[in-house]
Amino acid sequence: MRILIIGGVAGGASAATRARRLNEEAKITMVEQGPYVSYANCGLPYYVGGQINDPQDLLLETTESLWDRFHIDAQVNTRAVDVDLAHHQARISNIFEESQIVEFDRLILAPGASPVIPPIAGLERPDVFMLRTVPNALNLRQYLDSRSHIQHVTVIGAGFIGMEMAEVLHSRGYKVTVVDKAPHILPVFDPDVARYIEHRLSDLGIEQVLGTAVSRINGIFGHPTITLDSQRQIKTDAVVVGLGVRPSLKLAQQMGLKLGSTGAIWVDPSMKTSHPLVYAAGDAVEKRDLVTGLPRWWPLAGIANKEGRVAGTNAAGGSQTFPGALGTAIVRISPYYLAMTGLTETAARQNGIAHQILYTVRGHHAGYYPGAEDLFTKVVYDPSSGHLLGAQIAGQEGVDKRIDIFATAIQGHMTMESLESLDLAYAPPVGSAKDPVIITAMAAVNHQSGLVSTINPSELAEWIAADNNQPLILDVRDQDEVSETGMIPQARWIPLNTLREHLPSLPKESPIVLYCRSGHRSYIAARILRQHAFPQVFNLNGGITAWQQQQMPRLTKA
């Protein structure tokens, strides 16, 4: 058995080592066009920021380690020039233009993804940097370490790469400006969840210039000037471009392999391509969405590793399938984290999927234990079956734990009612007797069972703007909260503990919308009104916390 793997890093290296563990007799050759056969590209920003000091720590495997432990012939600085599928041969060439023919019985493609390079004049400048490979990271860190004049860095791109770079540059003491043509940071998240962090970044010294693209970069070396489409100019000391990636398809197209509807390489669940001898894995490959069953493309290391394992298994003669993924991801912009899994509200709308959304705001551990930090949670679930479809969380602590619970629940086809019964670990420093996951599930079940009717912040904003059949809006928070933040326009303040004595003054013929900070106390208020025969009572989903994540939140002084 001769197995040739084109591409290393996550997908290729995982495929190679898995194939060896299953087939000791196979001849396994891996070629990687870069200088490092397997490295942690997710760790590159943290090397630039200094959290990782030694670049050798980024190397997961080397050509030597792969040969010594696995007898895998790994060749770096080597690319596949062309592949002759009819004769089971590939021509490979190294940086010295020395070519050789490699024969194979099975071929695994793992070319990964390439950085998006926009048509911006000035990107070739030596004070403008990409960040995709170890050499990119070495070059950028050397530049930052060697120039004391740098005070401000501009990051082009507000996706995962861009925001991670904004964090590590800020940690080095620089002022940071992030530019993106998207209307909010981290466009894969729903706008309201992204804005929960976006509103807080300016306080950290990270400026965001959104809704406009970069047209050119000029100026003297070491002091570039960025000109935006809006004609605004940003004077800076260095530029980092982090606009995401796209699948590397050149070789697949040369081989005539089928591409999927996402533009990435099509594979079946065994990671086999449209050619029976060729498997593919990693960032160049199309995925299956476990929620919708539709094709998706996520360039994520965890998925690439699992795909590589399956491809290596099957190329070595085994039998394994990869069912799909949820796109589970997390990003830190210290001290904040944002995480997601499954469907967003935006994706549900785009695909015409029936859904209900729910916000909750809850401390990451017991409120009576010092240091509890809010988790702003948004879930998407099926309103008829109750199955969880997706979740997004923003906060400072405990985000990773909860998003992993939600991801497990989605893949396990759990309903909100079954989530309500989860038995989760509890101790005051790390959680609550009613964990934020449990609280979210309870709130969803309350809505499903008809105990409460909810209204989303966007719906309330439209209702207020319509000036038709206006609801009575009641703020049931305590006085200090109202004084500190103000109230939603046209709201009337009645603290929850005094609500019953005000019942005679409330109109039963008018719709009533109740809110508090998170939606919990206003739920109690809604239950009081419902049981006193008020027919049209709505609880504001997520309370004033969710309301403030609107595009232009409006509050009035109490």
Phi, psi (rounded to 5 degrees) for 336: -100, 155
Is 516 designated active site?
A: no
Q: Do the Cβ atoms of 46 and 147 come closer than 8 Å?
A: no
**3-class secondary structure, 330:** strand
Task: Report the 10 Å Cβ neighbour count for 157.
Answer: 26
- Give the DSSP letter of residue 51: S
What CATH superfamily is the domain 454-547?
Answer: Rhodanese-like domain (3.40.250.10)
What crossing angle do the helices spanning 9-22 and 63-70 adopt, rounded to 10°? 20
Residues comprising the chain, all counted: 558
Q: How do strand 225-228 and strand 233-235 relate by DSSP bridges? A: antiparallel
Choice among 42, 138, 353, 528 that is catalytic: 42
- Dist CA 137 CA 145 (whole Å): 12
Q: Which CATH number fits domain 2-42+52-113+246-315: 3.40.190.10, 3.40.50.980, 3.90.1150.10, 3.50.50.60?
A: 3.50.50.60
Provide the CA 297 distance to its chain's centre, in angstroms: 13
**Residue holding tokens 């919708």?**
292
Structure tokens at 12: 């290729």
CB 342 within 8 A of CB 45: no
**Domain assignments of the chain as residue spans, ordered by start:** 2-42+52-113+246-315, 128-243, 335-448, 454-547
Closest CA to 338 of 191, 203, 440, 189: 189
**Distance (Å, whole) CA 265 – CA 329:** 22
Q: Which amino acid is at 34?
A: G
The top-level CATH class assigned to 335-448 is alpha beta
DSSP one-letter string for 155-184: EE--SHHHHHHHHHHHHTT-EEEEEESSSS
Torsion sign across C-alpha atoms 501, 502, 505, 509: negative
Q: pLDDT tens digits for the chain (558 residues)? A: 999 999 999 999 999 999 999 999 999 999 999 999 999 989 999 999 999 999 999 999 999 999 999 999 999 999 999 999 999 999 999 988 889 999 999 999 999 999 999 899 999 999 999 998 999 999 999 999 999 999 999 999 999 999 999 999 999 999 999 999 999 999 999 999 999 998 888 888 899 999 999 999 999 999 999 999 999 999 999 999 998 899 999 999 999 999 999 999 999 999 999 999 999 999 999 999 999 999 999 999 999 999 999 999 999 999 999 999 999 999 999 999 999 999 999 999 999 999 999 999 999 999 999 999 999 999 999 999 999 999 999 999 999 999 999 999 999 999 999 999 999 999 999 999 999 999 999 999 999 999 999 999 999 999 988 877 889 999 999 999 999 999 998 899 999 999 999 999 999 999 999 999 999 999 999 999 999 999 999 999 999 999 999 755 556 654
Residue 41 has a pLDDT of: 87
pLDDT at 489: 87
Other beta carbons within 10 Å of 143: 16
In this structure, what token pair is assigned to residue 224?
């570039």
Question: What CATH number was assigned to the domain covering residues 128-243?
Answer: 3.50.50.60
Contact 200, 337 (CB under 8 A): no
Instruction: Work out the angle between the directed axes of helices 301-315 and 9-22 (0-180°, nearest 10).
Output: 30
User: How many angstroms from the chain centroid is the CA of residue 23?
Assistant: 36
Q: Quote the CA–CA distance of 486 and 484 in Å, as a whole number.
A: 6
pLDDT confidence of residue 175: 96
Q: What is the dihedral of CA 378, 346, 325, 357, to 10 degrees?
A: 30
Are 2-42+52-113+246-315 and 454-547 in the same CATH fold?
Answer: no
Which pLDDT value is given to residue 224? 97
Residue 483: Cβ within 10 Å count: 12
For residue 473, what are the β-bridge partners? 491, 513
- Position 202 scores a pLDDT of 83
Number of H helices, E strands in the chain: 17, 32
HSE of 542 in the Cβ direction (CA atoms, 13 Å)? Answer: 24
Residue (of 446, 437, 264, 267) closest to 362 by Cα position: 437
Angle at 327 between CA 163 and CA 542, to 5 degrees: 75
